[in-house]
Amino acid sequence: MFKRFLSLEWKQFSRSSYFQKGIAIKILLILAALYFGGCFLVLGTSAFFILEDTFPKEDPVTIVNNYLIFWFLIDIAYRYFMQQLPVMNIKPYMIIPIKRKTVIHFLLGKTTVSFFNFLPLFFFLPFTIVLLVQGYNPLNVVAWFFSMLFFTLSINYLNFLLNKNDKIFYTILTLLVAGVAVEFYDIYPLAEKAGIFFNTIYQKPYAILIPLLLMVLLYRRTYSFIRKGFYLDAEISKKTETVKTSELNWLNRFGRIAPFLKNDVRLILRNKRPKQVLFMSFLFLFYGLIFYTNDSYNSMPAFLAFASMFVTGGFLMSFGQLVPSWDSEYYKLLMSQNIPYREYLESKWSLMVVAVLVSFVLSTPYIYFGWDIFGMIAAGALFNVGLNSFITLYGGVLNRVPMELNVKAKAFSNTQGFNPTQLLIALPKIFGPMLIFYLPYKLINFEAGLIFLALSGLAGIVFKNFFLNKIEKIYQKNKYKTIAAFDEKA
């Protein structure tokens, strides 16, 4: 039966209207998997020797065990945002003599072979081999390896339950942040205390029963959770909810584009994926910490310009690149109204500009790293407003992939609305500010690079009407192609 399920899954994928898009995405995902798998493989192979040289008086295994608590908490966090749970069209199976448990076990089996479960193996497996080569007790090492595998699979099944309860996830995320803080500031030796548990599992091989039992219990709990809602009535019934309307009168000050802005604000407030994209945009504010706290980047100011653009451009890059896919479900209705296309585009531009300005205000703590850094963030904000916003809107012409906002899917691994051509459109948004800054910096000085980057953004603001008119004509020319594409369903 599992073989038949796999055959049907392949037919559904290969016969869909988005087969070529799906192939392109699969290729990109495979390349990303190879990259991250290679990174983890190198880390797993060299971790023992790095720890041995850095902490010669401590056992590398003990150090790894001490910090496994953070490893697994991070694993839970990024799975919540990135791991797309497997789905099936279960309606046809509900009316034919196929046991429910068979379908459910197949679904759980699909998620068991997820890349998110294999990625930790690229670290734990080479690390285990190094331990065996270095003469560690084979029984302890092998038992420890399988314990890590069982913990990883436990988190995989736990992800099913966390996806239905955001409060539990954010509690775990808070614990992760608090744990890192108390460890970093030496408030409490959390890593050492948590390491006692994992070191015990390593020292006593029979303790492998703990993660094994945890994995079995979570599998059974997840199975029961899915089976509880696996009924035809539950699948086809419509849940009636009380809808709260919001007038958003404060947006009326924006004049003729106010109705479009209200639609966008309501879209963000009422749908899961836009909410998570908004949250991801907030995380972009901390992107600069990766570069500004690392002295090695001080000699590579072009990368600092790259980081500065991302600090204020999170919403523009994540939300803006999916214009007009956000409106795909009612795009035909929208285009049938007696409204200028220019107002629709200007509302999107205004929303992105407001987001950049809010991000810039929230980035003021970066003054701590010096006025040069903050000046670069300000120049990056001007570039985002003046040029990146228009490049993003232009990219929407090539984005004709519909998006179903009512589908409960991951915000960051959901490929609805994704078009491989977006990667090409992203190139000038990423490398443009680096090039504009670097050439004057190299030929003159640092301040000249900032001035040129800021002036490029100001030039875009000055020629706003020119850019919007050009983009409007392109959208108008491709309007019916976009409508036809949005009528298709993946």
Q: What is the DSSP string of 176-196?
A: HHHHHHHHHTTSS-HHHHHHH
Residues 144 and 284 in one domain: no
Instruction: Name the residue type at position 371.
Output: W
Instruction: Name the residue type at position 355.
Output: A
For residues 281 and 358, what is the distance between their CA atoms, to the nearest angstrom?
A: 11
Q: Is residue 412 part of a domain?
A: yes
Residues 219 and 268 in one domain: no
Residues 215 and 262 in one domain: no
Q: Is residue 59 part of a domain?
A: yes
Residues 308 and 178 in one domain: no
Q: Is residue 244 part of a domain?
A: no
State pTM to two decimals: 0.60
Tokens of 82: 């990135």
Task: Look at residues 236, 267, 299 and tell me which one is the last residue of a structural domain.
Answer: 236
- The pLDDT assigned to 409 comes to 47
For residues 19 and 218, what is the distance between their CA atoms, to the nearest angstrom?
A: 35
- The pLDDT assigned to 287 comes to 78
**How many CB atoms sit inside 10 A of residue 102's CB?**
13
C-alpha torsion sign, points 137, 143, 144, 149: positive
Q: Is residue 241 part of a domain?
A: no
SS3 421: helix
Task: Look at residues 174, 208, 236 and tell me which one is the last residue of a structural domain.
Answer: 236
- The pLDDT assigned to 490 comes to 45
Q: What is the DSSP string of 298-316?
A: GG-HHHHHHHHHHHH-HHH
Q: Is residue 242 part of a domain?
A: no
Q: Is residue 299 part of a domain?
A: yes
Residues 116 and 202 in one domain: yes
Residues 187 and 254 in one domain: no
Q: What is the pLDDT along the chain (490 residues), one digit of tens a residue?
A: 556 655 655 565 555 545 555 565 567 667 777 888 888 899 899 999 999 898 888 899 999 998 888 888 888 877 876 776 655 555 566 666 677 777 777 778 777 877 888 888 899 999 999 999 999 999 999 999 999 999 999 988 888 777 766 676 677 778 777 877 777 777 777 778 888 889 999 999 899 999 999 999 999 998 888 787 666 555 444 454 555 556 677 777 777 788 888 888 888 887 777 777 788 788 888 877 777 777 766 667 777 777 888 888 888 888 877 778 777 777 787 777 777 778 888 888 888 888 899 989 988 888 888 888 888 888 888 988 888 888 888 877 777 677 766 554 444 444 444 455 556 666 777 777 888 888 888 888 888 888 888 898 899 889 988 988 888 888 888 878 777 777 765 4
Q: Which residues of 134-154 are buried (b: 16+ CB within 10 A; e: fewer)?
A: eebeeebbebbbebbbbbbbb
- Burial (Cβ within 10 Å: 0-12, 13-18, ≥19) of residue 316: buried
Residues 70 and 109 in one domain: yes
**How many CB atoms sit inside 10 A of residue 331's CB?**
20
- Structural domain of 372: 249-487
For residues 100 and 9, what is the distance between their CA atoms, to the nearest angstrom?
A: 17
Residues 428 and 458 in one domain: yes
- The total of structural domains in the chain comes to 2
Task: Look at residues 236, 269, 284 and tell me which one is the last residue of a structural domain.
Answer: 236
Question: Are 395 and 425 contacting, i.e. CB atoms less than 8 angstroms apart?
Answer: yes
Residues 170 and 265 in one domain: no
